[in-house]
Each structure stands twice: as C-alpha cells, then as structure tokens.
C-alpha cells in the first residue's frame, strides 16, 4: 500500500520537504517513540562492525574494494576476540 505524498506530509507535521514516487526527503530530525532514527541507524551500523563504503571509489579502484573487504574481515575477528576477552 503506497502512501500519497499529501498524506505523508500530514503525518510528518509538514516536515516533509520533497516527495515524489521515488523518494521522500526530510530535512528535520525524525523522532519515533522518543528515539532519534539517525542515531539508531548509526548505533546499528557500529554494532554490526561496518565501515562506510564509497561505491564510486570502489568502482574506480577495484583494489580498494579488495582492501576494504580484507580489512573488514580482520576487523570483525579482532572485535569478536576483544569482546570475548572482556567478558
């Protein structure tokens, strides 16, 4: 079920700055049940041990993707080992 941009705008108390069939742009903090959505996403990103990935650079430099993947694998192993030592 798709939500019309008009309804979505009403739901977000006019914080909606752009809406069309492909995207919704909100230029204000989005708080749901007292929780800041961007902070929640940042925390989720950190807890999953993910680093930011620049797809455009990786497309241009394939060795960057290989290095990123190798680093990520080693990083996860180290973080898991650290958690095990600290428990």
How do residues 76-85 score in pLDDT, each as one tens digit? 899 889 889 9
pLDDT tens, residue by residue, 5-48: 666 666 665 555 566 667 777 777 888 899 999 999 888 877 77
Q: pTM to 2 decimals?
A: 0.41
CA–CA separation, 15 vs 7, rounded Å? 12
**Tens of pLDDT along 52-70?**
778 899 899 999 989 988 9
How many Cβ atoms are within 10 Å of 72's Cβ, its own excluded?
14
């Amino acid at each position: 079920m798709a939500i019309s941009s008009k309804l979505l705008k009403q739901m977000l108390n006019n914080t909606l700055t752009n809406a069309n069939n492909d995207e919704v742009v909100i230029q204000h903090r989005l708080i749901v049940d007292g929780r800041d959505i961007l902070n929640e996403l940042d925390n989720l990103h950190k807890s999953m041990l993910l680093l930011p990935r620049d797809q455009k650079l990786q497309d241009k430099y394939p060795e960057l993707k290989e290095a990123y993947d190798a680093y990520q694998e080693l990083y996860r192993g180290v973080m898991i080992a650290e958690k095990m030592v600290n428990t």
